[in-house]
């Protein structure tokens, strides 16, 4: 039986009250910890079955989010390993709680490090263009601003869910000179930019980046305009499965974000497609900023090889 805390967080994300893969991962792990603490299981076998069921349900939040899947997998594996040692249910609850805290802390630490490394890549007077909501991108821009660098930022609205408006508000409140633009104006404004800076939901072994729909187009336009494209991504977002040829799933979201249901009912024969993410070619990316340092997209395979067995996860 899926716990009510799990159902609640899935619904919160579904109606888009949360932005960014890191924020969603934190919410999911917190819900999993809460469900574990409230478990009425009387045996470790029953407890593990509950945790696994809740984990499987949470993966529906965002199929393309690698930190989400890696975080959930880490917590469950820690519980399974402890159960294998004969750990009692009450102690297994503590194991889950500790694993959630550990992964959360490592993810937050990685963003702090990315902010430091990324800020060094931005120069005084740079004009930055960004797309969608990314905790890492916001952290980089804030860090550069704190260091006294005068930057200007173009932020796309990021349709159809308009999370770019949240990014623009946060950056403006920080004191950064921020301009909100419509998505279709990117080609008009990119020529005035020095760099494009975006986040990622996932990074594959070949250096391709999965991010909010529209990112691939922006990167291609920037590449054609000879504007450098930077991706900010924790190595927790690198996908081990892609080494074996697995494709990162691109979810489709509710058509009502594009056209409301009442209009759809009256427009017979009309269908609406609303993919949440797209895949940006490594050829259109200049570098990826990680907590380990800056790498070209072609070097993603080295990180994935190190992490293919999930040994990279917090210890």
The pLDDT score that the predictor gives to residue 315 is: 44
- SS3 sequence of 243-277: HHCCCCCCCECCHHHCCCHHHHHHCCCCCCCCECE
Residue 289, pLDDT above cutoff 50: yes
Instruction: Please say which residue of 110, 126, 143 terminates a domain.
Output: 110
Cα separation of 45 and 39, whole Å? 12
pTM for this prediction? 0.88
Arithmetic mean of pLDDT, 290-297: 96
Structural domain contains residue 58: yes
Q: Is residue 312 part of a domain?
A: no
Residue 313 within any structural domain of the chain: no
Q: Which contiguous run of DSSP H or E holds residue 222?
A: helix 215-224
Which residues, in sequence order, are bridge partners of residue 280? 209
Contact 280, 208 (CB under 8 A): yes
**Span 277-297, mean pLDDT?**
97
Residues 40 and 121 reside in one and the same domain: no
The average pLDDT across 236-253 equals 81
Report whether 231 contacts 199 (CB < 8 A).
yes
- Picking from 65, 86, 110, the residue at the C-terminal end of a domain is 110
Whether residue 15 is predicted with pLDDT greater than 70 in this model: the reply is no
∠225-285-68 over CA atoms, to 5°? 135
User: At 303, which CATH number?
Assistant: 3.40.50.10470
Q: How long, in residues, is the chain?
A: 315
Q: Are residues 106 and 143 in the same domain?
A: no
**Domain match, 294 and 159 both:** yes
pLDDT band at 7 (very low <50, low <70, confident <90, very high): confident
C-alpha distances out from residue 44 to 18, 74, 224, 236, Å:
33, 18, 57, 29
Name the residue with tokens 């529906």.
60
Q: Please report whether residue 314 resides in a domain.
A: no
The whole domain housing 104 covers 4-110
Do both 190 and 294 map to the same domain? yes
Q: Which residue has the higher pLDDT, 246 or 210?
A: 210
- The DSSP element (H or E) to which 150 belongs, if any, is none
Helix axes 21-37, 66-84, angle to 10 degrees: 30
For residue 315, being part of any structural domain is answered with no
Which one of 95, 110, 125 terminates a domain? 110
Number of domains in the chain: 2
- 300 and 288 Cβ atoms separated by less than 8 Å: yes
Same domain, 142 and 247: yes
Give the CATH number, domain containing residue 39. 1.20.120.420
Indicate if the pLDDT at residue 314 is higher than 60: no
Pair 148, 106 in one domain: no
124 and 234 share one domain: yes
pLDDT digits (tens, 9 = 90+) for 71-100: 999 999 999 999 999 999 999 999 999 999
> 305 vs 42, which has greater pLDDT?
42
């Amino acid at each position: 039986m899926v716990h009510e805390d799990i159902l609640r967080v899935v619904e919160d994300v579904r109606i888009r009250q949360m932005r960014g893969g890191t924020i969603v991962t934190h919410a999911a792990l917190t819900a999993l910890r809460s469900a574990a603490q409230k478990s009425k299981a009387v045996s470790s076998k029953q407890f593990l079955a509950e945790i696994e069921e809740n984990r499987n349900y949470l993966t529906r939040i965002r199929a393309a989010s690698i930190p989400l899947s890696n975080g959930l997998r880490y917590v469950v594996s820690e519980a399974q390993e402890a159960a294998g040692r004969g750990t009692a249910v009450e102690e297994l609850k503590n194991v889950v709680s500790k694993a959630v805290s550990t992964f959360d802390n490592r993810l937050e630490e990685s963003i702090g490090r990315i902010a430091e490394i990324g800020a060094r890549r931005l120069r005084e007077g740079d004009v930055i263009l960004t797309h969608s909501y990314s905790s890492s991108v916001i952290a980089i821009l804030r860090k550069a601003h704190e260091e006294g660098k005068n930057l200007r930022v173009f932020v796309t609205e990021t349709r159809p869910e308009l999370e770019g408006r949240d990014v623009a508000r946060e950056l403006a409140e920080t004191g950064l000179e921020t301009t909100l633009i419509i998505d279709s104006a990117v080609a008009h404004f990119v020529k005035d930019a020095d760099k494009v800076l975006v986040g990622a939901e996932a990074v594959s072994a070949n250096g391709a980046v999965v991010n909010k729909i529209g990112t691939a187009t922006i990167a291609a336009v920037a590449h054609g305009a000879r504007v450098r494209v930077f991706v900010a991504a924790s190595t927790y977002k690198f996908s081990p499965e892609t080494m074996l040829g697995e494709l990162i799933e691109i979810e489709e979201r509710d058509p009502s974000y594009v056209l409301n249901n009442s209009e759809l009912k009256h427009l017979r024969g009309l269908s609406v497609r609303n993919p949440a993410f797209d895949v940006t070619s490594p050829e259109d990316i200049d570098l990826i900023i990680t907590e380990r340092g800056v790498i070209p997209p072609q070097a993603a395979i080295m990180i994935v090889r190190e992490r293919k067995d999930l040994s990279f996860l917090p210890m």
